[in-house]
A = this chain, B = another copy of it.
Amino acid sequence: MNTYAVILAGGIGSRFWPMSRQDHPKQFLRVFGNETLIQGTFGRLQGLIPSDHVYIVTNDRYVTRTHEQLPAIPSDHILAEPMGKNTAPAIMYAAVKLHALDPEAIMIVLPADHVIRNIRRFHEVLRVAIEAAHEPDALVTIGIKPTHPETGYGYIQFDGHIDEIDVETPRVYHVKAFAEKPNLETAERFIAAGDFLWNSGMFVWRVDSILHAIQKYLPELYRAFEPLMEAVGTDRENELLKQAYEQAPKISIDYGVMERAEKVYVVPGDFGWSDVGDWRAVYELSEKDELGNALKANAVALNTARCLVESTSSERLIALVGVRDLVVVDTDDALLVCHRDAAQDVKKVVDYLHAHQMTRYI
């Protein structure tokens, strides 16, 4: 049976402002080392999925950049969304395309902008998930063994206990429920209960399984794409794609399908995963000196601890004196100075810039 990977790369990532911009979102940033996040996501599939079985779903305006960053991917595998409508339509679009190739193909869905440290364990988890996904109508998610009561992630309740997870020998569990991002109290209860995993946003299923599920739980979305489904490969494809997106509801696959479906499984893993949700996560994942500073710039730090400095310039000097727990991000036309604990609020800067028509900085 054929297995394909679909990388979802339509996001804007405004929490990475000023490094991320409308024309240069998070997945195209070199956050760690020389690879961009999307290059890392693609690279992690080596040895599991051949390059010509990888598809990218991204926004129209990012197609050129995607080509540049991933020259190994065939042009017609970069699926351009005419507008962003969250994950359910993106997955529907990819499923429609793959359905024309092989309705029973296995489809792995991966966000473009996460990091994973232990690729071997990651592959093991995916192999088990792929195996489980052969069952008709099975929807398999990848869960992450949680380490702390994180409020930035959704959770998956499963019919096992996190203490019994053998990270070297992954196995499949039934999913009992999905939970949205909780408050701290709820997150602490989840961790204490022991039967909650972090929702990684990675899924594995047969193409026909997800199409059935969307038909059942998101019929409006299914109907929007039905004309396209019959026109894949014809000269009406682009026109019908645009119509499909115009009619499609804006909804996530978690909320629209996973929370309601019946045969939902999870394979828990522990492979150094992070969704790199904000600058704080970048700090945590970065190499630091003995004072806890990650200075990725031409920087001088005096009496300074636990700071992250990112810069697009190797020339400009950045001096930190007597400061703690800051994120400093320096770009050509904009500078961010943010407390590490306020990293989630960086998107509010982008909101502010929108509200004040300061679009040149967005």
Instruction: Indicate whether A320 sits within 8 Å of B300 (C-beta atoms), given known contacts A315-B333, A333-B315.
Output: no
A302 within 8 Å of B (CB atoms): yes
In the bound assembly, the distance between CA atoms of A23 and B326 in angstroms comes to: 31
Cβ–Cβ contact B352 & A317, under 8 A: no
CA distance A348 to B303 in the complex (A): 10
Stretch of A189-197, A260-268, A334-342 on the interface side: A334-342
Contacts of A323 in B (CB 8 A): 326, 337-339, 342
CB within 8 A of A342: which of B317, B321, B339? B321
Known: A300-B352, A349-B302. A334 touches B321 (CB 8 A): no
Tell me if A100 counts as interface (CB < 8 A to partner B): no
Contact with A321, one of B302, B316, B320, B349 (Cβ below 8 angstroms): B349
Interface string of A308-336 (1 = CB under 8 A from B): 00000001111111111010101001111
A111 an interface residue at 8 Å Cβ cutoff?
no
B352:A335 contact, CB within 8 angstroms: no
CA separation between A360 and B361, bound complex, in Å? 29
**B303 adjacent to A342 (CB under 8 Å):** yes
Contacts of A333 in B (CB 8 A): 315-317
A346 within 8 Å of B by Cβ?
Answer: yes
Give how many copies assemble into the complex: 2
B315 touches A342 (CB 8 A): no
Residues of B with C-beta under 8 A to A72: none
A220 sits at the interface (CB 8 A): no
B302 and A319: CB pair below 8 A?
no
Q: Are A334 and B322 in contact (CB under 8 A)?
A: no
CA distance A323 to B336 in the complex (A): 11
Question: Given the complex of chains A and B, what is the CA–CA distance between A237 and B324 in angstroms?
Answer: 54
Task: Report the separation of the CA atoms of residues A300 and B348 in the bound assembly, to the nearest whole angstrom.
Answer: 10
Choose among B320, B324, B335, B345 the residue that contacts A316 (Cβ–Cβ < 8 A): B335
**Residue on B with the closest CB to A320?**
B337
Min CB–CB distance A322 → chain B (angstroms): 3
Question: Which 9 pairs, one residue from A and one from B, show the smallest C-beta to C-beta distance?
Answer: A322-B342, A322-B339, A321-B338, A317-B334, A319-B349, A318-B335, A317-B361, A321-B342, A319-B336
